Each structure stands twice: as structure tokens, then as C-alpha cells.
Amino acid sequence: MTESTLVIGLVLPDVMGTYGDGGNALVLRQRARLRGIDAEVLPITLADPVPATCDIYTLGGAEDYAQRLATRHLTQYPGMQEAAGRGAPVLAICAAIQVLGHWYETSEGERVDGISLFDLTTTPQATRSIGEIEGVPLVDGLTQPLTGFENHRGGSALGPDAAPLMRVVRGTGNGAGSPVDGVVQGSVLGTYMHGPALARNPELADLLLSRATGRSLEPLDLPDVELLRRERLRK
Ligand code: GLN
């Protein structure tokens, strides 16, 4: 790695990475490299302090106990929160949304404090939401429908400082009585879409990359990726 390398922090892949969410970091690296940007993935495990120096951070989903381990580690080493405070993009998938909120209730009904990067709270829904999810983006810079796979029991209610990522047209998303998915707060973005989300939604990957690099990126002409994206949106 050199000083100009774009460093993508893959946060706690040892405990948070259901459904290959770590692939989001690989997609970011690949789409950066295709534009001639030198990029590397830095795995940050439970054995490592979380550095504040990454250019972008990604976290995946997980079960209750793994969430607890992640919450404890991120509280002990608040490097990612520090980076988010200076505007570094963070992508949080599923359980990571819950960990980044104020608190979440486990399926046993126990309330666990999160790290409050998101103004939201999470409680178990009556039923688990499993299946394809699709929505219309509500964020400037995104024009294409967003798609992924969701599997979660928790439902997240957004507070006034948090905005949703998309209006859901198929699936559940955040639940909690609201037909929206995900959360956007400053440079931190979350979604219930697994998939990995960025493999299915290249426009979202490029939005994060352009924020991380501070420049607009030329479009990539990848017909196979585009074809795959369209197929996944087919009902
Ligand atoms: N344990 C959380 C829930 O069920 C998150 C699950 C996940 O990340 N897939 O709500």
C-alpha cells in the first residue's frame, strides 16, 4: 500500500459477514481498480483495533451473539466512528444497521446498546422477513432501482436525524410499520439488502467510491454486470 492507495476497511469479517457481505469490499476494490485507482481491502478482525485511517468502511450482517461481539469491539475501538465524523463513507448491512443504531433488542427481548452512528432503534418484528427486496432510491445520485435479499427479524424505526435509503416496492426493508429500507445519516449508509448489496447495485458502489475519493467517476461499460442487474430485477 502506498499513501495514495484507497483503503477499504472490511470491518469484523470474522463475525459480521452473513451471505458473503464481505463481497461489498471486493466490489468497491474492483470498481476502483477498473478506473485506475489503486485500492486495497484491509480486513479488521476482533484481534485488531479499528483504525480511523481507512477511506471507506463496510460491515456485514450477523446473528445476535456476533452483533454483541461487534458492538463491544466498536465501542472499545471507535476508529470507524471517528472516521465517519470526518466524512468517511461507511456501508452497514442488516445487523450492522442495528449495531450502528442507539440500541437493538435481541430475539430474547434483551436490549443492547449500539454505537449511535444512526438515529434509530431496533425491535423484533412478529415474523422474520426473508426474500427478495426491491426499492426506489430516495438519495441524490441514485437513479436505478435497488435490489437485494433480506433475512432479518429485527425492524428498525428511524429517528428524525436519519433518512431512509429507498422506498420499498417488494419485500419489507426496515419494517417497523414503514415501507422504506435502509438509512442515510451523513456519510454513513445502511441497508437490509444482502446480496452482497454492491454486486447487485453498482450505482450504489460508485456513489460510495466517489464520496471516498472526493471526485466524480467516469461510468464503467460492463454489459455483463448490467445484464445481471436487469435479470435480478425480473419478477
Ligand atoms: N440478527 C438480526 C436480525 O435478525 C440481523 C440478521 C442479519 O444480519 N441477517 O434482525
* Beta-carbon contacts of residue 109 (< 8 Å; ≥ 6 apart): 124
User: How much distance in Å is there from the Cα of 37 to the middle of ligand 1?
Assistant: 34
Q: In Å, how far are 12, 189, 190, 227 from 119, measured between CA atoms?
A: 22, 12, 12, 36
Please answer whether residues 54 and 89 qualify as being in contact, where contact means their C-beta atoms are separated by less than 8 angstroms. no
Rounded to the nearest integer, the mean pLDDT of the chain is 95
Residue nearest to atom 10 of ligand 1 (CA): 154
Residue 102 catalytic? no
Q: Shortest CA distance to 115 belongs to which of 88, 129, 95?
A: 95
Q: Which one from 54, 73, 94, 152 is the annotated catalytic residue? A: 94
Please answer whether residues 70 and 15 qualify as being in contact, where contact means their C-beta atoms are separated by less than 8 angstroms. yes
C-alpha cell, 53: 485511517
Looking at residues 173-179, what average pLDDT do you find? 91
What pLDDT is recorded for position 156? 97
pTM above 0.80, yes or no: yes
Q: Provide the annotated binding site.
A: 128
Residue 54 catalytic? no
Please answer whether residues 63 and 112 qualify as being in contact, where contact means their C-beta atoms are separated by less than 8 angstroms. no
Per CATH, the number for 6-233 is 3.40.50.880
pLDDT in tens, 89-139: 999 999 999 999 999 999 889 999 999 999 999 999 999 999 999 999 999
Percent of the chain with pLDDT over 90: 86
User: How much distance in Å is there from the Cα of 95 to the middle of ligand 1?
Assistant: 5
* DSSP-derived secondary structure letter, 92: E
Q: What residue type is assigned to position 229 of the chain? A: R
pLDDT in tens, 4-42: 999 999 999 999 988 889 999 999 999 999 999 999 999
Q: Is 79 in the pocket of ligand 1 (CB under 6 A)?
A: no
pLDDT in tens, 32-54: 999 999 999 999 999 999 999 99
Q: Is 60 in the pocket of ligand 1 (CB under 6 A)?
A: no
Q: How far apart are CA 94 and CA 98, in angstroms?
A: 7
Residue entry with cell 460510495: 208
What pLDDT is recorded for position 235? 62
Q: Is residue 78 reached through a cis peptide bond, with omega within 30 degrees of 0 on the bond before it?
A: no
The answer, yes or no, to whether residue 79 has pLDDT greater than 90, is yes
Q: Where are the domains of the chain?
A: 6-233
Q: Is 151 in the pocket of ligand 1 (CB under 6 A)?
A: yes
